[in-house]
Structure 1
């Protein structure tokens, strides 16, 4: 499948800021499941800084905008050819050991309920692959997809207690439940073209990857109850949503910040 992406993020400030600095993780991952045809990232009025590929294999680029800054617009435009690998991250080069992803964060802190969910989900599973699938299914059943009920700082434990959440909450819960049974797991940010039945979906998306020793990293999207396929574009990963955020930055000044994000994803060829 060939997917085109147009993604515009605009930060506005109610008072001019002295400067703004952005760290962008907005570049498609290099692995057998996707090939970049064209891709351009730009910051209006910005100066491109250094770029590097981190230990997890993600491309990161720095930008700065000199003040006075009243608005920062980050634009992404490109085209990617994807292949369905049943969620397996095959051919992805990275240096970080999977064991590094057994660390907890505030968002993925394991409380008694998450511990129980993970432990109960894997009872009777024959191997690690089945364990991972069972955990993803248990999270999908325990947390109903409902936009607007959680926020950016909601933890996996809070979403589980609420019983509702969005893709970020599902990913955090899978990560926590997997770690509860000793399986490394991480958060992934990217794009999703549509749900499996073709229903339009929020294009900016997130899911989890669980490491299975005999196979490697495998993606699980509890929000759509599937593994990532040709409808997904993978950008980057981290211990949680904060670490894997496509855009991270700071602005110097006293102005209050507002944010607008518009993402359009279209299938050109299937």
Structure 2
């Protein structure tokens, strides 16, 4: 599948900043399931700095905006060719030991209820167990927009019984870790739901290291593994660590933002 992606984030500040530095993880991953072409990143008024590929295989680049600045726009326009690898992250170069992803964060910390949910799943190997965990998380947390927020933890989302893709990913990571399976958060894009209905184009899911097969993606929110409708950007321990845009502002100001994301299939 060939997908055309337009992603625009507009930041506004009520008092002009003296400067702004951003770290962007907005370039599609390189692996057998996808290849980007004509991929353009721009920060209005920005100066592109250094760029590197980190140990997890993600491409990160720095941008600086000199003030005074009261508005910036981070924009992406590009195409990605994707194919279905049944969720397997094959051909992705990284140097970090998977065991690093047994580390807990506040967003993915285990409590008694998460441990109980994890205990309901079983499997003859890591892959079967991960599939069972994804099904359990999808059943326990109903997809619903507006009931959780950016700082909601996996435990809080499970207690609510509702949440969005971020909450499903955090809960999946916690439950996998309860079984000793390394797991991480993935940010990216999604063209549509499995039934073809429109979906929030910016998306998130979890990857679990299943053993011999390596990293495999699980989207508990949609109860499937990522296929050719998904575009992978980067990963981290949780949503904060894997955020596509992170930055530091110099100055005291209230920030507001608007996000527009479009993922459209291009006719072959």
Q: Structure 2: how far apart are the matches of 1:237 and 1:118? A: 22
Q: Provide Cα deviations, 1:30-83, integer angstroms capped at 9, x if missing partner.
A: 000001122010101000010000000000000010000100100001000001
Deviates more, 1:236-245 or 1:111-120: 111-120
TM superposition score normalised by structure 1:
0.98
Q: Secondary structure at the match of 1:6?
A: strand
2:157 counterpart of 1:159: yes
Runs in 1 of length 4+ with deviation above 6 angstroms?
none
TM-aligned CA deviation for residue 261 of structure 1? 0.4
Q: Structure 2: how far apart are the matches of 1:217 and 1:23? A: 25
Residue 168 of structure 1 aligns with which residue?
166
Residue 84 of structure 1 aligns with which residue?
84
The match for 1:245 among 243, 246, 266 is: 243
Q: Cα RMSD over matched residues?
A: 0.7
Provide structure 1 residue ranges, at least 5 long, that are not aligned to the other structure.
none
Q: Structure 1: how far apart are the matches of 2:182 and 2:190? A: 24
Q: Structure 2: how far apart are the matches of 1:197 and 1:168? A: 21
Q: Secondary structure at the match of 1:243?
A: coil
Alignment of 1:71-150 (within 5 A): 71-122=71-122, 125-150=123-148
2:48 counterpart of 1:55: no
Q: Structure 2: how far apart are the matches of 1:225 and 1:187? A: 16
Q: Provide Cα deviations, 1:80-126, integer angstroms capped at 9, x if missing partner.
A: 0001000000000000010000000000000011111112212xx21
Deviates more, 1:81-90 or 1:112-121: 112-121
TM-aligned CA deviation for residue 196 of structure 1? 1.1
Provide structure 2 residue ranges, at least 5 long, that are not aligned to the other structure.
none
Q: Structure 2: how far apart are the matches of 1:34 and 1:149? A: 33
